[in-house]
Chain A
Amino acid sequence: MKQIICAGLACLAIGFLYAQKTFPVNGVADERNTIYVLKNATVYKDAETVIPGATLVVQKDRIIDIGTNITAPAGAVIIDCSGRFILPSFVDIYSDYGIPVPQRAAGAFNFSAPAQFNSNTKGAVGWNQAVRAEVDAVNIFTSDEKQAKTFRDIGFGTVLTHQKDGIVRGTGAVVTLANEKENLAIVKEKAAMHFSFSKGTSTQSYPGSLMGVIALLRQTYIDAEWYKNNPAAEGVNLSLKAFNENASLPQVFEANDKWGDLRADRIGDEFGKQYIIKGGGNEYQRINEIAATKASFILPLNFPEAMDVEDPNNAYQVSLNDLKHWELAPGNPAAFEKAGIPFCLTPADLRDIKQFLPNLRKAIASGLSEKQALKALTQTPAELMGVYHLVGSLEKGKLANFLVSSGPVFNEKTVIFENWVQGQKYTVKDDDEAIKGTYNLTVQSGGKTETYTLVVKDPSSASITGKDTLNAKFTYNNKLVTLSFPPSKKSKNSIRLSGIALGNEWSGNGADTAGNAVFWKAGLTAAAVAVKDSGSKSAPAAALAKITYPFGSYGFDKLPEQQTILIKNATVWTSDIAGKLENTDVLVRSGKIEQVGKNLNASGAVILDGTGKHLTAGIIDEHSHIAVASINEGAQSVTSEVRIADNLNPDDINIYRQLSGGVTSSHILHGSANTIGGQTQLIKLRWGADAEGLKFKNWDPFIKFALGENVKRTTSSANNRFPDTRMGVEQVLTDAFQRAVDYQNAVKAAGTVSAKGRKGAAANPWATVRRDLELDALVEILNAQRFITCHSYVQTEITYMMRVAEKFGFKVNTLTHILEGYKVADKINAHGASVSTFSDWFGYKMEVLDAIAYNAGIMQKMGLNVCINSDDAEMARRLNQEAAKIIKYSSITEEQALNMVTINPAKALHIDDRTGSIKAGKDADLVLWSDHPLSIYAQAEKTIVDGIIYFDRERDLQLRKSITEERNRLIQKMNGEKKAGGRTAPFRPSTQALLGCGEHDDDGSFHLHDDEQAAAW
């Protein structure tokens, strides 16, 4: 039995696993069945079980025994691992190792460029280029030793690899990181199906927005179900076929952000799927919502690096949100552990993969337990991918994938020496501990012997002490030693030596400064004292940033609750028959207005003194684009399948800013890029709530339509999307509703009443009719279950929109913008639509040449229900002033003007029974103003939604102070990190999303042009 010291020999394993029987041998057969016995190690079988003094027996690619009291079989290679730790090598289930990275075609998305309507992918695939369900990683995987080594060096042995491209990405395969042929490296051919919100390299125009992506996914699930019946009309669709075949695999969704995670989970809920969600690292900000998904998570460790913010003008542009995230991000895994959410860790998303272990240590310093860290890198991912019987722990019969390290693997000073994959040893780092120490060096030249003291610090540095202490050039590489040094400080020439290490005795030959041959010897006199782990796992500094709701500036420490509020002695503008009431009290309880009257009392109520102040109903903005991640799905002229509700962004600071202007409800509309846009979402400005919490409950659903310049892409010089004229727009409308009518009839004929009804559930209509979400929404319009708010400017289009609606038997609910409404106010009145307009916008494009500031006044006088809306995040906080302008331009009463931003939009939105006026029983959506609410000098002092004070000017002043202090603390800390030599990233300003009506979203670069910006409205 030959015994070698663990990690004694640096050798790189090469494909010797076993010979594949079918492959011819060029030479002599070299079948090996060597048994390796690694003994005396501290072995982590798994995260829970540590066995000191254990033995691991490996043959071929497997562990054949593990435990204590194991007798080494005869003919085994014995490796003494005293002082060494052995643990399962890590498993990453979010890799694209060995998979070609697809490149996006040059010239990314360009709004002005012609649209691409169909997929460019060749073959019998589906219509959308971003749905790539037919891609199987196993078919395109090639072993890549260079890449494999980078992963092995940070401890990984097995990965799930897949092509990170598209919305539906096909399947991933589990492979090891062995330097082996693909045949042997592949552990599981199809382990998971993959999804994301990114269309990747797809050049197809649709989807061009996050909500379009979600709509496409939804329709794909429905189409796949329908395809199961092999509909003749579809022919062969390999994408849908694969989608169905892989439906029972684990489903992994790259969501990359806390809100994205929740969006992904909601899609899963809709289709009975529980995704494994790849997070983004900011989940700790909403850990309760994340826990409620019941999903398992894959977490990256790409913690933000400290930015260079020494320049205060740069620092000014970094948001508190980003500063706090920098400080708290390493605590993300710990937050998952604390909340009991299963998770694994991935090196994906790291700019420099070598940061993986340092960042993991940061995560541990921020509260993640070592046990959980190991589990997240071994058992959890292996179980999620159904390969725990093969990898993820050290057990008899499993693959011999393990690490040999100098100590507990997460300690700062621990070195991973070897990473064994499939029974083959890969050296990560030579064990050079043993050579460190002090040697007695003698150099013999002729008859003369000089003696020096050689101190070896590591394999590339050493110093020599003779008469002086001298720096030596030293290398130690796989037992070969080289050493050169000047005999004295002044000497320009060096003594050059080379030799070999035989245990602790080194010897060899060389040349002195004169070039004469020398012989040398060096013997270890004192081994270096092993460096101890600094143990700097000191508890995280006490004062860390607080998690607030929302996470950025102006958030709440904890979500505010309903209070009983009594507003005393205010001038109350009821926006109701009661009119304006002087010296009046309003009592709010349980989110509702309980009483309006004089001298009211309520014990325990918060009293707001309204003396000299004015109370109005909360402002309702009929046309808004705040609080969303994307606003326009403009790739097609009809996109009634997309839903604003799918991509709300509750962190938008504009929610808070608009509360400060008295807004309590906003109708969030799809943009105006196409004739039939997306489904809208009414929200209440519940600052701090999540997406679900923002939604106005039980409202009549609406949809956005648009006409005119934007939908015919006037500012594009290369438009190829129908329509290009208002004539075409009218046909888009007519065609869409005709298709909806035909569809509805077909569904009825196929056996049921309506898309939603499910009465008389006879035959399943969807077996014969393809369920089409786009047409479903139009059918809802036909049946007065969904209502249109239509962006319209000039009288022609206003008129034909109403005529098309009348032809199909429904009513246009609201005409929005409607700047030429005054020209056809009588027709609008006859049709019965509400109108929602600007007070004074004009002149920003051709179709507003006849826009007049007297429009709202004329329409009011014609008896229409007139609303004044914003369509602008800034103006929304001054809607009371916009209403006041109607008094300036047309002689209407003050109450009529105020109603244009309170009860009138409530009527237009069918919520006038719940909000929009001050009346007992209604929602307590109220604004207390410092002055006459239609005066420019009025400021909203308190804005109340559902009986909760969401904006309070006094609190706002406090917040400003604390924001300044907290920013300062974090900037100082960042600068400190830079001074201490930590990694810093170059300064980059924080970005805030501010979306307009005409804005487009796409993965590619896209920047609004001046002229296009103007076309946003």
Chain B
Amino acid sequence: MKLNYLFLLMLATTLQVRAQDDVYPAKEYKGLLFITNGTVHIGNGQVLEKATVEVRDGKIVGVGANIAIPQGDVKVFDVTGKHVYPGLILPQSDLGLKEIAAGVRGSNDYRELGELNPNIRSIVAYNTASMMINILKTNGVLLANVVPQGGIISGSSSVVQLDAWNYEDAAYKQDGAIHVTIPPFSAPRSRFAVRSGPPVDYVKVANEKIEEVKDFFRQGKAYLEKNSHAEVNLKFEALRGLFDKQQALFVHAGSVSQMLAAIELVKEFGFRTVLVGASESWQIAPLLKENNIGVILGAGHSLPGTEDEDIDQPFKTPAVLQNAGVLFALSDDATNTRYRNLPFNAGTAASYGLTKEQALSAITLNAAQLLGIADRTGSLEAGKDANIVVSEGDILDMKTSIITHAFIQGRQVSLENKQTQLNERYLKKYGLQN
């Protein structure tokens, strides 16, 4: 691989790896850029063989087989034999908020105290120096939604692009959604949980908490009907976007009961609503369709919810949603791999009922639609940002999912990260080649 020789050369001169400190965000590129001769997966189901993507000043201006490449000061990437995809979008994450999951409290900024925190904004804590970010880029993930946790209303999430100096550079769409977590309606299915303490009436507690949220929204709505207030309430102010339909409500709910409660919440307030997690959404897919509720599924690579459930239920849930016409995206919330396997969750969905292009949409265009950024990204269509990845082969299948190029808003971004650098460092130590 050419890229790696390049690294070896670099290493020979610098002699020291500085834990990705020398991986720089790319400079803005004004002008024309062509990615030619690849198999272009648009993201909306279409595939063009031997096609060219034309980019001007960071925007896609055309995609097709008959695009002429002018002479002169243009960048051309001949990707013959390779596959071209929209940049992958991770729709649910704590990227940049949680660095070292366990044992290092100081590295974590993802969960705030308090129950009702619509005013909490994840973007302000998004750490562009997180070592996770470049690792995701290397696997083709170019955008991520950064979500705060804690309480029932956790705050607003923002979409970031993964090649930035600071959070203001990174912000792709700020405060696009407010996140609510529906409490559980029954005891967790853990043998540890069952043993401890007096019995809890989960249904009662859940209903009380949901009522608390509804009451909060009602009061917020009333508050916002007045233009000025002697005492400004930051929490209510933070709801303005929801009532203006500028923001979506993202409801974290897994079980059918939780999701039904979410539907009821939507009925009352009419927010644009997306369910997050939604592991049992396959049981009520027509109902979600009917209520125009979107879904962001958690990791498809997970175990069935019960002993009796079909062994491959989580793998085939995307196909159930697809067939019911529900707009859905896939995420990857596996703690131990930190999101880097997003494309493979889609690959599994393609093995269990989706077409490969449908599976691709679930990590690109569908995610963009749910996050409210489909006018700018999610597919390789004229007018959108040039957020593009190129892979040696099928991006959904790990053995061929080898990313060779990535572009964010037309900038060719580095695919290096701390791990690639450590790899080079030790290959060098042992005199090996990758």
Contact surface of A with B, Cβ cutoff 8 Å: 108, 313-314, 316-317, 319-321, 552-554, 653-654, 656-657, 660, 709, 714-715, 822-823, 825-826, 838, 840-846, 849-850, 852-854, 857-858, 861-862, 872-875, 878, 881, 884-885, 887-891, 894, 897, 934-939, 956, 960, 963, 967, 987-994, 1004-1008, 1011-1015, 1017
Listed A/B pairs (8) with beta-carbon separation below 8 Å: A823-B426, A826-B430, A854-B422, A874-B302, A897-B399, A956-B311, A967-B308, A1007-B193
Asked whether, in the complex, the Cβ of A1015 is within 8 Å of the Cβ of B102, the reply is: yes
For B307, the chain A residues whose CB sits under 8 A away are 319-321, 552-553, 653, 990, 992
- In the complex, A884 Cα to B430 Cα: how many Å? 24
For A988, the chain B residues whose CB sits under 8 A away are 187, 194
Asked whether, in the complex, the Cβ of A843 is within 8 Å of the Cβ of B399, the reply is: no
Asked whether, in the complex, the Cβ of B256 is within 8 Å of the Cβ of A313, the reply is: yes
Asked whether, in the complex, the Cβ of B337 is within 8 Å of the Cβ of A840, the reply is: yes
Which residue, of B311, B347, B348, B433, has the highest number of chain A Cβ atoms within 10 A? B311
Q: Which of B34-42, B160-168, B338-346, B361-369 contacts A (4 or more CB under 8 A)?
A: B338-346
Asked whether, in the complex, the Cβ of B186 is within 8 Å of the Cβ of A888, the reply is: no
Within 8 A of A (CB), among B290-328: 301-304, 306-308, 310-312
For B344, the chain A residues whose CB sits under 8 A away are 881, 936
Q: Which of chain A's residues has its CB closest to B255's CB? A: A313
Asked whether, in the complex, the Cβ of A989 is within 8 Å of the Cβ of B189, the reply is: yes
Contact with A991, one of B1, B190, B312 (Cβ below 8 angstroms) = B190
- In the complex, A1013 Cα to B420 Cα: how many Å? 28
Secondary structure class of chain B's binding surface, majority of residues: loop
Asked whether, in the complex, the Cβ of A936 is within 8 Å of the Cβ of B103, the reply is: no
Known contacts A844-B338, A937-B351; A888/B190 CB under 8 A: no
For A1008, the chain B residues whose CB sits under 8 A away are 192
Asked whether, in the complex, the Cβ of B102 is within 8 Å of the Cβ of A937, the reply is: no
Known contacts A842-B419, A936-B344; A990/B306 CB under 8 A: yes
Asked whether, in the complex, the Cβ of B306 is within 8 Å of the Cβ of A316, the reply is: yes
Asked whether, in the complex, the Cβ of A935 is within 8 Å of the Cβ of B103, the reply is: no
Whole-angstrom distance between the Cβ of B270 and the nearest chain A Cβ: 25
Q: Which of chain B's residues has its CB closest to A995's CB? A: B191
For A992, the chain B residues whose CB sits under 8 A away are 189, 191, 306-307
Contact with B306, one of A319, A654, A657 (Cβ below 8 angstroms) = A319
Contact with A937, one of B255, B306, B347, B426 (Cβ below 8 angstroms) = B347
Known contacts A843-B131, A862-B432, A891-B1; A852/B194 CB under 8 A: no
Q: Which of chain B's residues has its CB closest to A888's CB? A: B398
For A552, the chain B residues whose CB sits under 8 A away are 307-308
Asked whether, in the complex, the Cβ of A317 is within 8 Å of the Cβ of B399, the reply is: no
Asked whether, in the complex, the Cβ of B423 is within 8 Å of the Cβ of A1014, the reply is: no
- In the complex, A718 Cα to B399 Cα: how many Å? 45
Contacts A654-B303, A936-B347 aside, 9 further interface pairs with beta carbons under 8 A come to A656-B311, A845-B104, A852-B419, A852-B422, A894-B399, A963-B308, A992-B191, A1004-B195, A1008-B192
In the A-B complex, list the 10 residue pairs whose CB atoms are closest, starting with the nearest. Answer: A1005-B196, A1014-B102, A854-B423, A936-B347, A852-B419, A841-B336, A991-B191, A884-B399, A845-B102, A553-B308
Asked whether, in the complex, the Cβ of A1005 is within 8 Å of the Cβ of B197, the reply is: yes
Judged by a CB distance under 8 angstroms, whether B401 is at the interface is: yes
Q: Which of chain B's residues has its CB closest to A553's CB? A: B308
- In the complex, A1014 Cα to B338 Cα: how many Å? 12
Secondary structure class of chain A's binding surface, majority of residues: loop
Asked whether, in the complex, the Cβ of A657 is within 8 Å of the Cβ of B102, the reply is: no
Judged by a CB distance under 8 angstroms, whether B249 is at the interface is: no
For A875, the chain B residues whose CB sits under 8 A away are 301
Whole-angstrom distance between the Cβ of A890 and the nearest chain B Cβ: 6
Contact surface of B with A, Cβ cutoff 8 Å: 1, 99-104, 131-132, 135, 185-197, 255-257, 283, 301-304, 306-308, 310-312, 335-338, 340-341, 344, 347-348, 350-351, 396-402, 418-420, 422-423, 426-427, 430, 432-434
Asked whether, in the complex, the Cβ of B336 is within 8 Å of the Cβ of A715, the reply is: no
Q: Which of chain A's residues has its CB closest to B188's CB? A: A989
Known contacts A715-B102, A884-B398, A991-B194; A317/B306 CB under 8 A: yes
For A840, the chain B residues whose CB sits under 8 A away are 337, 340-341
Asked whether, in the complex, the Cβ of A885 is within 8 Å of the Cβ of B398, the reply is: yes
Whole-angstrom distance between the Cβ of B160 and the nearest chain A Cβ: 18
Asked whether, in the complex, the Cβ of A846 is within 8 Å of the Cβ of B104, the reply is: yes
- In the complex, A872 Cα to B191 Cα: how many Å? 18
- In the complex, A660 Cα to B257 Cα: how many Å? 30
For B135, the chain A residues whose CB sits under 8 A away are 842
For A838, the chain B residues whose CB sits under 8 A away are 336
Whole-angstrom distance between the Cβ of A380 and the nearest chain B Cβ: 33
Asked whether, in the complex, the Cβ of A1007 is within 8 Å of the Cβ of B427, the reply is: no
- In the complex, A1013 Cα to B344 Cα: how many Å? 24
Q: Which of chain B's residues has its CB closest to A314's CB? A: B186
Asked whether, in the complex, the Cβ of B103 is within 8 Å of the Cβ of A1011, the reply is: yes
Known contacts A875-B301, A989-B189; A935/B399 CB under 8 A: yes
Asked whether, in the complex, the Cβ of A844 is within 8 Å of the Cβ of B191, the reply is: no
Q: Which of chain B's residues has its CB closest to A998's CB? A: B102
Asked whether, in the complex, the Cβ of A1006 is within 8 Å of the Cβ of B102, the reply is: no
- In the complex, A1013 Cα to B192 Cα: how many Å? 13
For B102, the chain A residues whose CB sits under 8 A away are 714-715, 844-845, 1011-1015
- In the complex, A1013 Cα to B335 Cα: how many Å? 10
Whole-angstrom distance between the Cβ of A666 and the nearest chain B Cβ: 16
Q: Which of chain A's residues has its CB closest to B304's CB? A: A657
Asked whether, in the complex, the Cβ of A1011 is within 8 Å of the Cβ of B101, the reply is: yes
- In the complex, A967 Cα to B310 Cα: how many Å? 13
Which residue, of A553, A854, A956, has the highest number of chain B Cβ atoms within 10 A? A854
Whole-angstrom distance between the Cβ of B369 and the nearest chain A Cβ: 25
Asked whether, in the complex, the Cβ of B350 is within 8 Å of the Cβ of A937, the reply is: yes
- In the complex, A872 Cα to B336 Cα: how many Å? 10
Asked whether, in the complex, the Cβ of B187 is within 8 Å of the Cβ of A989, the reply is: yes
Q: Which of chain A's residues has its CB closest to B191's CB? A: A991
- In the complex, A709 Cα to B100 Cα: how many Å? 13
Known contacts A320-B308, A715-B102, A841-B336; A854/B419 CB under 8 A: yes
For B255, the chain A residues whose CB sits under 8 A away are 313
For A1012, the chain B residues whose CB sits under 8 A away are 102
- In the complex, A198 Cα to B334 Cα: how many Å? 35
For B303, the chain A residues whose CB sits under 8 A away are 654, 657, 873-874, 994
- In the complex, A1014 Cα to B337 Cα: how many Å? 12
- In the complex, A320 Cα to B308 Cα: how many Å? 7
Asked whether, in the complex, the Cβ of A843 is within 8 Å of the Cβ of B101, the reply is: yes
Asked whether, in the complex, the Cβ of A846 is within 8 Å of the Cβ of B100, the reply is: yes
For B192, the chain A residues whose CB sits under 8 A away are 1005-1008
- In the complex, A319 Cα to B336 Cα: how many Å? 29
For A885, the chain B residues whose CB sits under 8 A away are 398-399
Whole-angstrom distance between the Cβ of B149 and the nearest chain A Cβ: 10
Contact with B103, one of A822, A845, A934 (Cβ below 8 angstroms) = A845
- In the complex, A546 Cα to B307 Cα: how many Å? 17
Whole-angstrom distance between the Cβ of A821 and the nearest chain B Cβ: 10
- In the complex, A858 Cα to B431 Cα: how many Å? 11
Asked whether, in the complex, the Cβ of A936 is within 8 Å of the Cβ of B396, the reply is: yes
For B103, the chain A residues whose CB sits under 8 A away are 709, 714-715, 845-846, 1011, 1014-1015
Asked whether, in the complex, the Cβ of B336 is within 8 Å of the Cβ of A1017, the reply is: yes
For A1013, the chain B residues whose CB sits under 8 A away are 102, 335
Whole-angstrom distance between the Cβ of A856 and the nearest chain B Cβ: 11
For A938, the chain B residues whose CB sits under 8 A away are 351
Q: Which of chain A's residues has its CB closest to B299's CB? A: A874
Q: Which of chain B's residues has its CB closest to A1012's CB? A: B102
Q: Which of chain B's residues has its CB closest to A938's CB? A: B351
